[in-house]
């Protein structure tokens, strides 16, 4: 299931949409008491696109810095999010639609 608060997700699911390969990566970032930040973890896995329910403006900028496109509005399962993205139902992340409630 898609986590409502991106940075506090327990895991990140990396999906190769060409091959169908799936890898579940633990969130070992400083948000959960580890080191590093989620964009660093996801970038290290070679991701080019990131789908999420929402995230803060600092995270949007970090992903942009790694050359990773971010789309917001994902809900349900990872499979649902990928289908919604492929169908053009998710919105590209920007400063205007970034979360502000979580004090990012």
Over the stretch 78-93, which tens digit does the pLDDT of each residue have? Answer: 999 999 999 999 999 8
Q: What are phi and psi of 22, to 5 degrees?
A: -130, 135
For residue 104, being part of any structural domain is answered with: no
Q: pLDDT category, 98, cuts 50, 70, 90? A: low
CB atoms < 10 A from the CB of 9, how many? 20
In this predicted structure, what is the pLDDT of residue 103?
A: 46
- Global pTM value: 0.87
Ramachandran area for residue 30 (φ above 0: left; ψ -120 to 50: alpha; else beta): alpha
The dihedral through the CA atoms of 22, 10, 6, 39 has a sign that is: negative
> What domain count does the chain have?
1
What CATH number did the domain enclosing 14 receive?
3.30.420.130
Kindly state whether residue 100 falls inside one of the protein's structural domains: no
């Amino acid at each position: 299931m898609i986590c409502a608060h991106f940075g506090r997700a327990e895991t990140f699911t990396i999906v190769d949409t060409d091959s169908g390969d799936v890898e579940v990566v633990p969130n070992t970032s400083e948000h959960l008491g580890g080191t590093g930040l989620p964009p660093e973890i996801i970038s290290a896995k070679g991701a080019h696109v990131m789908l999420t329910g929402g995230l803060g403006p600092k995270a949007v900028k970090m992903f942009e810095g790694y050359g990773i496109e971010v789309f917001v509005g994902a809900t349900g399962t990872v499979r649902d999010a990928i289908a919604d993205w492929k169908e053009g139902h998710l919105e590209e992340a920007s400063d205007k639609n970034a979360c502000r409630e979580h004090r990012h």
